[in-house]
């Protein structure tokens, strides 16, 4: 299905009703970014351009879950913390 340029925005990466990734918008944004930045849609440029939108998707899904009252699991990893027996800091 062809998508128009009017809906190709970062705000439309997730479906507001379900919180799922809108795959068509994601693919179109990634292809447009690859063409804009690298001038090609070769697989390596697609992979590089997709890295720009991964964080946006994760943040939007997390925000949707919070607005919907669902649980959000986050992990905080710090190099500075309380020493615990049996935990090696180099295990990160």
* pLDDT tens, N- to C-terminus, the chain (92 residues): 455 545 788 888 999 899 899 999 999 999 999 999 999 999 999 999 999 898 889 899 999 999 999 888 777 666 666 666 565 555 55
pTM of the full predicted structure? Answer: 0.68
pLDDT for the residue numbered 64: 92
Return d(Cα 66, Cα 84) in angstroms, integer: 32
Cα–Cα distance between 54 and 88 in angstroms, integer? Answer: 30
Q: Mention every residue, 6+ apart, whose C-beta is less than 8 A from residue 1.
A: 24
């Amino acid at each position: 299905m062809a998508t128009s340029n009017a809906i190709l925005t970062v705000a439309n990466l997730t479906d507001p009703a379900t919180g799922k990734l809108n795959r068509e918008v994601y693919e179109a944004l990634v292809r447009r970014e690859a063409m804009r930045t690298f001038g090609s849609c070769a697989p390596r440029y697609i992979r590089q351009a997709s890295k720009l939108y991964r964080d946006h998707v994760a943040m939007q899904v997390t925000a949707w879950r919070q607005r919907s009252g669902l649980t959000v699991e986050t992990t905080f990893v710090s190099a500075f913390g309380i020493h615990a027996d049996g935990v090696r800091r180099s295990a990160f």
